[in-house]
Structure 1
Amino acid sequence: MTASKNHYTAEFKEEAVRLVISSQKSCAEIARNLGVPPYLVVRWKQHHEQQGAVGRPQFTGRGVAALSEQEARFKKLERELEITRQERDILKKALAFFAKDH
């Protein structure tokens, strides 16, 4: 498992958490074996537990919001609704414009 300085891949984090959960070793021991600071492994384990408890993906990558399936669908529907409202407003203006000509 390799990781660049100050940035660890989602797979690396998942593997570290899996090792903590599946073994009888502490976060500090796992961190020492992986060559990372112990506080990171503790943080990753807490994040894994919190996200899993609400049904969200645990590690999604840098800058990517972790959304549950329902939250992602809700955001998609909100975007679609906004587009539909904009289209409706354009049609209203076009209708008013053409109604003036007659």
Structure 2
Amino acid sequence: MGEASWAFEQPEGAVTEDERAELQRLRRENKRLQMEREILKKATAFFAKENS
């Protein structure tokens, strides 16, 4: 495989394109889930207050 094979190797700890795409997807999902949790917390507080 000669000298050219090293040119396409990624440095130690580098993120691949697949990993980068998964990270973006997970960040979007995390943000959505955080928003959903906040909505549920507010709804819970509203209904708890209403039943008191």
Provide the residue aligned with 2:42 in structure 1: 93
Aligned partner of 1:85: which letter?
Q
Q: Provide the C-alpha distance between the structure 2 equivalents of 1:98 and 1:78, rounded to a whole number of angstroms.
A: 30
Query: Structure 1 segments of 4 or more deviating over 2 A?
Result: none
Gaps of 5+ in 2: 1-6, 11-15
Q: TM-score by structure 2 length? A: 0.67
Q: Which has the higher contact order (CA 8 A, sep 6+)?
A: 1
Unaligned runs of 5+ in 1: 1-48, 55-66
2:35 and 2:9 mapped to 1: Cα distance? 37
Alignment of 1:48-63 (within 5 A): 52-54=8-10
Partner of 1:69: 18
Larger Rg over CA atoms: 1
* Identical-pair percentage: 40
Could you tell me how far apart the structure 2 residues matched to 1:89 and 1:99 are? 15
Following TM superposition, by how much is the alpha carbon of 1:53 offset from its aligned partner in structure 2, in angstroms?
Answer: 4.3
Paired residues in the alignment total: 40
Q: TM-score when scaled to structure 1?
A: 0.36
Structure (1 or 2) with the greater helix fraction: 2
Q: Distance in 1 between matches of 2:50 and 2:22?
A: 43
- Structure 1 SS opposite 2:27: helix
Partner of 2:13: none
